[in-house]
Amino acid sequence: MEEKPKLKVTLLTGRTIEQGVGKEWGKSSKEYVESVSVCYMDPEDMKRLGVKDGTNIQVSTAFGSVVVKAVKSLRAPHPGVVFIPYGPWANVVVDPETHSIGMPSFKGIPATVEPAPDKPVLGLKELLKTVFRKG
């Protein structure tokens, strides 16, 4: 079987203006969900992985794995660095370790990225159902 391309990257999570505006419209709004279920990637990295703007990708860390949409970063070049806005999707893969100061590690997490064109990006309700089995 052909080996699927995989990329080792550093995952950052953070704020974007779209997420900031989306959260004010409401956390179940289309604006919010669309703004946080994405992963910004360097265009060169996308080429290497063979994914296009809008292709679904699977981001995995030691803490979990989530399918999000790849989006070409306007902030390139940043090869080897991917960015997911704060939100329920990012939380599946961030590092809960607080290093005994109370603060989990939201930035700089080793991760792998692979194309997942056949896997769907879960909606908010489905994501919560799979993760928490409640709601």
Partner 1 sequence: MPVVKAVTCPVCGSLCDDIELTVENGRIVKVKNGCAMCEAKFLGYCGEHRVLKPMIRKNGGLVKTTLKEAVRRAAEILAEANYPVLYGWSSTSCEAISVGIELAEEVGGVIDNTSVVCHGPSILSIQNVGIPSCTLGQIRHRADLIVYWGSNPWSAHPRHIERYTAFAEGRFEKSAWRSYVNKVKALVGRKKLQSAIKRLFVKKPAPVPPPISEYKPYPFITKEGRKLIVIDVRRTKSAEIADYFVQVEPNKDYELLQAFRMLIRDQELEVDRVAGVPVEYLEEVADVMVSCDFGALFFGLGLTMSSGKLRNIDAALSLVRDLNMRTKFIIMPMRGHFNVTGANIVFTWQTGYPYAVDFSLGYPRYNPGETSVVDVLLRKESDAAIIVASDPVSSFPRKAAEHLVKNPLIVIDPHMNVTAQMADVLIPSAFVGIEASGTAYRMDHVPIPLKKVVNPPKGIHPDEEILRRILKEVRRIKKKEEAA
Residues that bind partner 1 (CB under 8 A): 10, 12, 14-17, 20-22, 24-29, 42-44, 63-64, 73, 75-81, 83, 86-88, 91-92, 94-96, 98-108, 124-125, 128, 131-132, 134-135
The least CB distance from residue 123 to partner 1, in Å, is 12
The least CB distance from residue 58 to partner 1, in Å, is 16
> Which of 69, 76 has the CB closer to partner 1?
76
The answer to whether residues 115 and 6 touch, using CB atoms and an 8 Å cutoff, is: no
> Which of 4, 30 has the CB closer to partner 1?
30
Structure tokens, 28: 């179940």
Tell me the C-alpha to C-alpha distance, in Å, between residue 33 and each of 20, 102, 112: 12, 28, 23
The least CB distance from residue 60 to partner 1, in Å, is 13
Is residue 74 packed enough to be buried (19+ CB in 10 Å), middle (13-18) or exposed (0-12)? exposed
Taking the C-alpha atoms of residue 27 and residue 20, their distance in angstroms, rounded to an integer, is 11
> Which of 25, 53 has the CB closer to partner 1?
25
